[in-house]
Amino acid sequence: MQLTSTIRRAAQANPKAMATIYKNRQHSWSEFVTRTAKLAGALQKVGMKPGDRVAMLALNSDRYLEYVFGVLWGGGVIVPMNLRWSPAENAYSIDDSGTEIMLVDENFAGIVPAVQEKSSCLKTLIFSGEGETPEGMLNYSDIIEAADPAEDAGRGGEDLAGIYYTGGTTGFPKGVMLSHRSLYISNLSNCREFCMQDGARYLHAAPMFHLADGAGSLAATFAGGTHIMIPSFSPAAMLQALQDHGPTHVLLVPTMIQMLVQDPDFDKYDTSSLETIMYGASAISEAVLVEAMSKLPQTKFVQAYGQTELSPVATILAPEYHTLEGPNAGRLRSCGKAVSTCELKVVDEDGDEVPTGTVGHIAVKGPITMLGYWNKPEQTAESLKDGWVYTGDGGYLDEEGFLYIADRLKDMIVSGGENVFSAEVEQAVTQHPAVAECATIGIPNEKWGESVHAIVILRPGKAATQDDIIKHCHKLIAGYKCPRSLCPCRRRARCSRRICARPIGGTRKETSIRAILKLSGKKKSWARK
């Protein structure tokens, strides 16, 4: 099972059909395969060997898809970089994975010096963006033009295909290792589950570094469809793409769906081409879903539940269950049934299956599961047991096999579809010289679902405003992980009063950390300096 076989098949079945559309660039499937082979040759020329890791830090584009398949064609391993990470986080993942080659576009070229300063591995930089090539970087178009097409390296099966970094409970990202086989099988299934057929036109609106978009992307490739890219999501950009290019499928997180259908210009655009919206990553409110189904009556909705460790889809709530009437009503509260490529169970603390309707730990097994965490054998052993991936989520199964998520067992906040581990935030907050202790929770946010809220205790005699602490966090972790609001703990109210000088959606009331955590229903450990 080779992922590169999917583009060879697409080029054979649809050689003249458009493979990629990005701004004013269009390439047929025949042209795409040629460019992929030449990129592979170029990467080998600058030093990529079988199994070497190659990173990319860029917004969505046709070149991102070429990067994915070019690296795989040349025998390498892809390492997609999180666009929202700080230079320190990016440098960590580069050094952790031993990545020596990175592609970067014009949107992130400016932070490369900061990444290089913190990285000991990065050697070769390729500029994949528009405009003048920064000093010290190779030009993407030039190296492809000069390269000879490489032979497909033929890697597949259990060979490592990608390392996808996710948030970590230890404060450091974890590199999820996915094989050619796991991604191949998962997305062959997704092609059917997402209702994709030959001729599908998939819109890359979610970030391409994220495996959620990868699920739609690889499924569309299996179908020999067309990939339409916008650099990043905005309602205006997506609506324009719908009108100009007529995509049939898109993957969105719930906040994107809400922003799209509530955009004041929504009715000015032709959205009739959109056949299917896949969504997931966080819960969606019934009100938003009902509004979306009303404004997009021709569109099917498919909910997916999973995680990166599962390549990434484990369950699907099919279109027929997105209804408020009839025998299928009520299923919207579930996340569907296990896909055909895996089985799942709900277990207690001892690993024994619990009775139907009983909340326990969700575990998943099948050919879609990860190989493990890169360079983290202890965390691999904790999550991967006898072939079962323990997801860290709590839930239950009903009599018909529908899975319902009850709560996250992991110490995690989901903000705008991104996972934020409290330990990582707390580690950043407590590095501020004025902070003695910190606990973080997720609080309801109308736009993002949850936002990060920190409760802090300052050191005796120290003072800091919430702006001070938030700015400090932005130097260490991605912006979406940083607290959006803070409040002090009354254990040391006298020294922490200034925290609430300028609240950001928080409260001026000084409150006990433990009281707040009790009200939130979360169990937290204290983070101390």
Query: Residue 357: which CATH number?
Result: 2.30.38.10
Same domain, 306 and 375: no
Question: Which class for 222: exposed (0-12), middle (13-18), buried (19 or more C-beta within 10 A)?
Answer: buried
Over residues 280-304, the pLDDT tens digits come to 876 677 778 889 999 999 999 999 9
Q: Tell me, what's the pLDDT at 283?
A: 65
CA angle 245, 316, 272 (to 5 degrees): 25
Q: Once rounded to an integer, what is the mean pLDDT over residues 459-479?
A: 89
Residue 49 included in any domain: yes
**Which among 256, 246, 45 has a CA at the least distance from the CA of 138?**
45
Q: Tell me, what's the pLDDT at 494?
A: 36
Residue 471 included in any domain: yes
Instruction: Give residue 495's domain range.
Output: 412-528
Inform me whether the pLDDT recorded for 513 exceeds 70.
no
Which range (5-14, 251-260, 323-332, 355-364) has the least confidence? 323-332
Same domain, 149 and 226: yes
Residue 326 included in any domain: no
Same domain, 391 and 444: no
Task: Cis check for the bond before 319: say yes or no (omega within 30 of 0).
Answer: no
The total of structural domains in the chain comes to 3
Q: Once rounded to an integer, what is the mean pLDDT over residues 502-515?
A: 34
Same domain, 404 and 416: no
Q: Tell me, what's the pLDDT at 408?
A: 63
Residue 323 included in any domain: no
**Which among 231, 203, 230 has a CA at the least distance from the CA of 217?**
203
Residue 329 included in any domain: no
Residue 239 included in any domain: yes
Instruction: Report the mean per-residue pLDDT for the chain.
Output: 88
Same domain, 222 and 137: yes
CATH number at residue 154: 3.40.50.12780
Domain final position from 359, 382, 408: 408
Same domain, 272 and 224: yes
Which residues lie across from 184 on neighbouring strands?
none
Residue 233 included in any domain: yes
Q: Look up residue 283 and give its two tokens.
A: 């819960």
Domain final position from 378, 393, 408: 408
401-to-331, 343, 407 alpha-carbon distances in Å: 11, 11, 18
Same domain, 449 and 486: yes
Same domain, 350 and 443: no
Same domain, 403 and 461: no
**Which among 158, 298, 275, 282 has a CA at the least distance from the CA of 223?**
275
Domain final position from 408, 424, 448: 408
Q: Once rounded to an integer, what is the mean pLDDT over residues 8-32?
A: 97
Q: What is the C-alpha to C-alpha distance for residues 108 and 87, in angstroms, rounded to an integer? A: 10
Q: What is the C-alpha to C-alpha distance for residues 73 and 269, in angstroms, rounded to an integer? A: 39
Grade residue 261 by pLDDT with cuts at 50, 70 and 90: very high
Q: What is the C-alpha to C-alpha distance for residues 312 and 374, in angstroms, rounded to an integer? A: 17
Which residues lie across from 415 on neighbouring strands?
418
Q: Tell me, what's the pLDDT at 140?
A: 98
Same domain, 370 and 460: no
Alpha helices (H) in 14-133, listed in sequence order = 29-45, 62-73, 87-97, 112-118
Half-sphere exposure of 134 (CA within 13 A, CB side): 19
Same domain, 18 and 165: yes
- Strand positions, DSSP E, 81-225: 101-104, 124-127, 138-139, 160-166, 174-179, 201-204
Q: What is the C-alpha to C-alpha distance for residues 15 and 12, in angstroms, rounded to an integer? A: 6
Asked whether the beta carbons of 364 and 314 are under 8 A apart, the reply is: yes
332-to-300, 322, 397, 504 alpha-carbon distances in Å: 14, 6, 14, 33
Grade residue 36 by pLDDT with cuts at 50, 70 and 90: very high
Q: Tell me, what's the pLDDT at 410?
A: 61
Give backbone dihedrals phi and psi of 452, rounded to 5 degrees, phi first.
-80, 125
Inform me whether the pLDDT recorded for 502 exceeds 70.
no
Q: Provide, rounded to the nearest whole percent, the portion of the chain with pLDDT above 70.
A: 90
Over residues 309-365, the pLDDT tens digits come to 999 999 999 999 998 888 888 888 899 999 999 999 999 989 999 999 998 899 999
Over residues 373-412, the pLDDT tens digits come to 999 999 999 999 999 999 988 889 999 999 998 766 666 7
Q: Tell me, what's the pLDDT at 255?
A: 87
CATH number at residue 522: 3.30.300.30
Which residues lie across from 175 on neighbouring strands?
165
Q: What is the C-alpha to C-alpha distance for residues 497 and 396, in angstroms, rounded to an integer? A: 43
Residue 267 CA to its chain's centroid (Å): 29
Same domain, 434 and 352: no
Q: What is the C-alpha to C-alpha distance for residues 510 and 493, in angstroms, rounded to an integer? A: 7
The SS3 of residue 220 is helix
Over residues 405-451, the pLDDT tens digits come to 876 666 678 888 787 877 678 878 988 988 877 888 888 887 888 88
Residue 324 included in any domain: no
Q: Tell me, what's the pLDDT at 521?
A: 44
Q: Tell me, what's the pLDDT at 114?
A: 95
Q: Tell me, what's the pLDDT at 243?
A: 97
Q: In this structure, how many other beta carbons lie within 10 angstroms of the beta carbon of residue 460?
A: 9
Inform me whether the pLDDT recorded for 245 exceeds 70.
yes
| pTM of the complete model | 0.81
Q: Tell me, what's the pLDDT at 506?
A: 32
